[in-house]
Structure 1
């Protein structure tokens, strides 16, 4: 025959037609096999055996082309047991793969005798230990794509394949097998797709469920256990509505109606669902409809996400924004109020000096002074809450504010409250404003005293650590146990720090109350202002500290406050001019508030200083330019229109480097107070101030030089 050449199906090959060889009787038998309802693999095995019998062949194989194009694989065979010796030929780079490359979809390849093939023809290699003598290869195709091959062969003698055999195999059997191969491929793809999506659903953190049109659960992903507490099988057949919060049922049903109407491809809703433990949780669910060819809903796919953590973060963000707004308002009010208090308390103090010996007048002046001090304390709490109260930081020990407050606490707390001190001897110093720390200690202790109406013990403890490997919160939780309610605020401390601990044996707090203790104006007391602990929080955060509170009803409360430790080093002295000798010192005083400026100037004159007044920073700079040689000290308000005290002082230093400066303000609005004061100013004066505080700061900066006794008004 020579080289095997593919020929069209309807050709008769090398011989004439042979009606006796046309096995049409096999066609109804193959049809009956297909009607038996056998499994695909079993069906094809029966078809292989029927085709082998039809052609009188010694072997029949159905070969499937691999999707990756790497050769073919045996799918079914008419031979029982292990595949025979053809297996090596069918591997990815085997000869049959090269033969199929030559096989056109519309052709068959009939080889009557392998011996007449050329030695290098790959068809000759289609055998193992038992040489194949003849073969018939029929492509199994879908359109123009070859899906596989029907392979019939003989071992012993040459075999002439008749036109009838070829036509039955190619025109009747081949379409059946091609459809079976395509069905197999689609089934495999479907299984792979199902496996992929099941893997995604089974491993998704969100809860994925499938529902019928009535809402009953057909599938529930494993995330149901973690989210709702139910095993997936417990949810099967249940209606989604039974898990809804009663107030959210109508919202859920309206979402379903929108999905039915086809208004959106997917409907997203937020509602509450009941967990297995009976509690409700807020979720977000996205529902999508699977529709049939008529647009009717067959199934609903729902992806449900737990919103617990997101709601917590949103609440925390909202609280932070709310507190920031309240803090800005509180800081602004306190700043303006401090300016007013300078006029009130300063005028009272100056009037008391003028009315010395008038007992009746002093009685009422003392009353005004006491109420003025209460107002000053309130503004300090407002500024502390607004985190704008870190006025004069220096290295201090946490023991100092405790010891200075003990006498006051003994007088303020009921005798039934026992105060216990456990203060560390060698305590790492912290950088803080001592007045703010005293306010913090006082607020915590008074709060503890109010929690013990029938008496108890108040323990104040200090301790320090050189290396805190764990965060303070983790250390506290480990010490208190996981059952204790704990809230925190401020930075997470690590490394060297000093700790203040205030513990009472009072009534304690439940989780709801504990979560609100740092809110401004929140109080469980009928007449409470609710600013004490809010101010404590502000003080802690303005000092880069951390505060934790542990409390349980009936078991008391513990406040744990940590501040980062600092090395105890003396502050570097700013370069100053040597004080001039002879005559009273001259001070340039600038403030945009008329009453503040007038009282401040009067206080300085009463102490023997000469005063040059300025109404703002621009005017102060003009006065300094004209009289810089006679000015010993400039006293500047921080916030003034047109030019701030900081800007004016910077210009003055360009005119006369080393000029002494004292900065005054009700609060540090920009958050840069320490940097501003350190940049050339000799000190900071907090409003409102007393006469002794003002004169003390001036004398400290001037180096204790003598000043005159007279008014000294230029």
Structure 2
């Protein structure tokens, strides 16, 4: 397509630019302005900015200085094709300036002003006075600019790139509109480089949000053009799961091949349309796509009416933003783990201490609760930020889901029913069972919390269409609860986004996202207000040998031994496993005797030692040991417990030649017992 030298004003209307400004202020609390290539502002300073609400009108007006062309360092940014980020007032305010290049031509600049805090007249008196002096004397901006940007600018860069992508999509739409005349015959439009279309073109952001449309798309689907700004192509226009998945695959593969899909009109009717996707890219990556639509007579293809009183929505999310947030939180997670793991390991040794002091016991119980919360918080954040592939084993997915269902059923309130539907799958899938159990558990917990008055929780498995030439299996978790509230729909999978006020809330969905991503899979969510939500986990079917083992785990050639750790006290189990792995042992964990037996049935020939807590939910450590000995009479076992006055247990331990460790114990004591038992096996 030829790209004539048209200005920003000719391609994007002032009304659209105003809508962009309003959207970013509402979504992120940032002020934005867009300048043309002559450095003329196309927008005025926003009237109402939450961070300035406590200032009088005169002081609010002083902030217009940051959008004044005389105080913008944008000439150098255009020459170097680079963006600029500045901070002011000890990093209480940040400004980013990005050049807009379209078809290798400079069209203007986007400027984003991020308010890091709420400004107040008294507290920020010195900065406001300095800003006033700069405005009155037209002094250089460096009088109030920080000497360096010392803190993270990831947020403002994310906002700015998103704004830049949106503007570029509108430029693309404006150019296409300028080159297409609705009165032209289709073959003439095709000569101009636009795919033949009897309907028109949708311009969508990378997450599917509709930015603009041309020709007759809105009319054909029964919408007004202004309605499209609130619609998402995947969620609102595609009628079937299969079509949504198919279109996502085509986008990922970057193909321009034509396909067909069922579309939903505003009145709920369906019609089949031919679709061709054209991906819009910049040097920074994919910013969106054009969707060229054509079809036969609408009336001939109209199908059954749908219930539109509460339309089911496929919730969209900004993949690029989520990946950026994972990078931001990763260093925090590493620092948190360095503090939390040793602390939890140390505290766990005292929780079962034998003391007759009731007050001390009560305090220990309170510390244990805090320790559990802290450990869970750190663990969820670890799952969210992980990027390395976890250890994979070939696993029967249906059996895994059945085991998950059995555990969940024991914990469900009486008013919630559980339904399990297992489809015909391949025999095994390469995955990390512990991680997938955790992800499904988080999603089931969310589902249960969404049904305070009771309902139905459903777990299903089935095969899915291929994605990037890769076969997929799906686990779906469905509830009949409240659905996702509007307040969080735009921020799916972001940490700490929750309607609950509990400390650490809002990490379950993020952890599940990280786990599924580390498996090479993806998540999809659909929700119907007041009627329920379904979360789909898509996992690729690969062989375990094709996966890369996580780098911080010992390789098979360097493993000192394989240990099965059975303990339902999560904090102590994690601390113990961590200490053993640091010493070079491969550790498999289980929190019930039933699970331990299942693991041993699969990999018993590799297990060198079993560490058992004597107090397990559902069965004692002694009973578990007896069941394991039936499978392998010569297996080595190490018991630990908080009490040593159980004479029957002690006699049993001596009779089978097992080891014994009393809690609390030091890490070196644990390692000494483990080494002793494994050395005895080699004799």
TM-score for the superposition, normalised by structure 1: 0.35
Between Structure 1 and Structure 2, whose CA radius of gyration is higher?
A: 1
Task: Give the TM-score taking structure 2 as reference length.
Answer: 0.37
